[in-house]
Amino acid sequence: MKVQTGIMSGLLGAAGITHFIRPRPFDSIVPPRLGNPRFWTYASGMAEVGCAALLAVPATRRLRGIASAALMVGVFPANIYTVVRHRHEPRARAITIARLPLQIPLVWMSASAASDTHPPPIVNRRSGTLVGI
């Protein structure tokens, strides 16, 4: 597993679990036009935990990269909404604007997980048993 794949798995897993433990901060960044913020907080938390699990399983290489990158792109509007919401608070606005470019490496690390390669398992030709992974 590439280092960035492991990092993304850890980040998504931790963030996803946090959506359920402390949902209020996540509720606050859901744009009102989407309706019930708690629904979206839990749905995005489940998506993050699911992507973290996919990233941790080598057999899901292509799916994990595509799903994780799509999730990172999909949550970007919430980051934009947060900037707009804090437009009259200079410090908060500066912090939320500074966060926007951080989404780029997250999308890149997620997408690169689709090409994360692993050496094939070593099989004993005589016995047919797996001797190494």
For the chain, the domains span 3-132
Tokens of 3: 């280092």
Q: What was the pLDDT predicted at 17?
A: 97
Whole-prediction pTM value?
0.77
Distance, C-alpha 36 to centroid of its chain: 22
Helix (H, G, I), strand (E, B) or coil at 124: coil
Helical spans, DSSP H, in the chain: 3-21, 24-27, 37-56, 61-74, 76-85, 90-99, 103-112
Question: Measured between alpha carbons, how far is 90 from 73 in angstroms, rounded to an integer?
Answer: 26
Per-residue model confidence (pLDDT) at position 121: 53
Distance of alpha carbon 41 from alpha carbon 20, whole angstroms: 8
pLDDT tens by residue, the chain, 133 residues: 678 888 889 999 999 999 999 999 999 999 999 999 999 999 999 999 999 999 888 888 788 889 999 999 998 988 999 999 999 999 999 999 998 998 999 898 888 888 765 555 556 566 666 555 4
